[in-house]
Amino acid sequence: MAKLLSEISMKYNPGPIGIILVLGLIVFFLPPNVIHSRGQTVIQLGGDFDLARSRLAKKGYYRIDLVGQGFTKFQVEACQNGVRYWFKSDNNGNINQKRKIGACQPDQPILSKIRIRQILASYGYNRIKIEQHANINIAVLCFGNDRLRVEINQQGQVGNRRLIGNCRNSLSISDITATLQNEGYDQIRFVNKRPPVYVVEACHKNRKYSLELNEYADTLSRNSIGNCRAQLEPRNITRFLENLGFSRISVISDRLPTYIAEVCENRTRVELSLDRYGNIINRVTIGKCARKISARRLIRKMRDQGYIRINIKRETNRGYIAQACRSGQLYRNKYDVFGTLQDERQKGPCPSWSIKQVKEQLAKYKYRKLKFYVEGCRKGKLIRFRVNEFGDRSNRQIIGNCD
């Protein structure tokens, strides 16, 4: 810093006040990455290159070298898919001004996780979790009571050690679940939640495994126990729940991350929340489910709704087909076995019955010796006469005056 101020003073001769202003501007604009070591202060101008290297590695870059550094950007040379590039990058691995500068030599064989674990164990590390990204391997591990994050290159050299916590405390269920998810597992279910050994069933690449884990999420054993359930498609939710024994299914939401459906379980109405694989993650009782309805009760229900001339055409295991009139229109309705209207279709005007049809309909209700009469006004007189089923009139009588 003193050298920098000296050079500014010699070149521009700004005076004491000017030097103070320059110093203030430098301190103000520099990122706060200052490392104190043995009484010396080192200012890191461009941020954290170790973080940038890690994020570039996750994008598929390898042999990542820092060749220049500005106030906010790094100048980097790195390989990707056998091509050597120069570009600028920030801490987050965002890239600009990228250009090809040559070819990379063939990659060295990638170290297996087993070999990496052996190398790290030989250095005294334990409780090792490994993530592989291109030619950089990242491990979270313990050394004594310290939990560290390190990088291992393809020569087995360890660098970029970072202290991220301690290893004295056991992990919670949620921490263990997050660790398994980071390792690529899903559909995670704890069979035993009591330490010191947790038993977990989880899926990895469509295979289902039974895992035994200790309190620090270390895998003690892993056994394949079959195939995993495929992701549940929205169009299959109703059939899937029917196969589980639920009825009267109404899908409320068919969008992830959570499907929601209302169903009947025996006589209880339940709201279910399902994950993407059809696992029931929550259930809430919201009421009672109605009993199955008889054809006679359905007719009474339809009459209360204003239907007349109701005829149940067909009764099936799935419900009823009814034909009826309402407000002069003919309807063909479909009901489920609980009397819930599934489909209503208007078929046109409701046809008038003949006297014979009226007689036949009344006969169904045990009416006998039926006679039909008509009353009407003619020339101020109220006249009544009898009609037969063919419309023939007889027994004409004047029964009063018309208003």
Q: What would the two tokens of residue 127 be?
A: 């409780």
Distance, first Cα to last Cα, the chain: 117
**What distance in Å separates the CA atoms of residue 119 and residue 117, rounded to the nearest whole number?**
5
Q: What would the two tokens of residue 229 be?
A: 């359930």
Sequential pLDDT tens for the chain (403 residues):
444 444 444 444 555 555 445 445 444 444 444 434 333 333 445 467 878 888 888 888 888 888 888 878 889 998 888 888 999 998 888 999 899 988 886 655 567 778 888 888 888 888 887 776 656 788 888 888 888 888 887 777 888 888 877 776 677 788 888 888 878 888 888 999 888 889 999 988 888 899 998 877 878 888 998 888 788 889 999 999 999 999 888 899 998 889 999 999 888 999 999 988 888 889 999 888 878 888 888 999 999 999 988 888 777 677 899 999 998 899 999 988 888 888 889 888 988 777 787 888 788 878 888 888 888 898 888 888 888 877 788 888 888 888 7
Q: What would the two tokens of residue 276 be?
A: 């993407």
**What distance in Å separates the CA atoms of residue 186 and residue 189, rounded to the nearest whole number?**
9
DSSP string, 236-287: GHHHHHHHTT-EEEEEEE--TT-EEEEEEETTEEEEEEE-TT--EEEEEEEE
Residue with tokens 């590390």: 125
**What distance in Å separates the CA atoms of residue 331 and residue 6, rounded to the nearest whole number?**
98
**What distance in Å separates the CA atoms of residue 205 and residue 212, rounded to the nearest whole number?**
19
Cα atoms found within 13 Å of the Cα of residue 308, Cβ hemisphere only:
10
> Would you call 47 helix, strand, or coil by DSSP?
coil
| Residue-level length of the chain | 403
pTM of the full predicted structure?
A: 0.36
**What distance in Å separates the CA atoms of residue 75 and residue 265, rounded to the nearest whole number?**
64
Radius of gyration of the chain (CA): 41
pLDDT at position 107 is 55
DSSP string, 176-210: HHHHHHHTT-EEEEEEE--TT-EEEEEEETTEEEE
**What distance in Å separates the CA atoms of residue 279 and residue 186, rounded to the nearest whole number?**
12
pLDDT at position 108 is 57
pLDDT at position 38 is 37
Q: What would the two tokens of residue 163 be?
A: 């202290």
**What distance in Å separates the CA atoms of residue 170 and residue 27, rounded to the nearest whole number?**
43
Closest Cα partner for 165 from 151, 157, 173, 175? 175
Q: What would the two tokens of residue 149 be?
A: 């994050």
Cα-based angle 193, 216, 161 (whole degrees, multiple of 5): 155
**What distance in Å separates the CA atoms of residue 165 and residue 200, rounded to the nearest whole number?**
25
**What distance in Å separates the CA atoms of residue 168 and residue 181, rounded to the nearest whole number?**
22
**What distance in Å separates the CA atoms of residue 280 and residue 2, rounded to the nearest whole number?**
67
> Would you call 68 helix, strand, or coil by DSSP?
strand
**What distance in Å separates the CA atoms of residue 58 and residue 60, rounded to the nearest whole number?**
5
pLDDT at position 132 is 66
pLDDT at position 109 is 59
Q: Which amino acid is at 374?
A: V
CB atoms closer than 10 angstroms to residue 194: 8
Contact 128, 118 (CB under 8 A): no
pLDDT at position 266 is 84
Residue with tokens 């461009």: 46
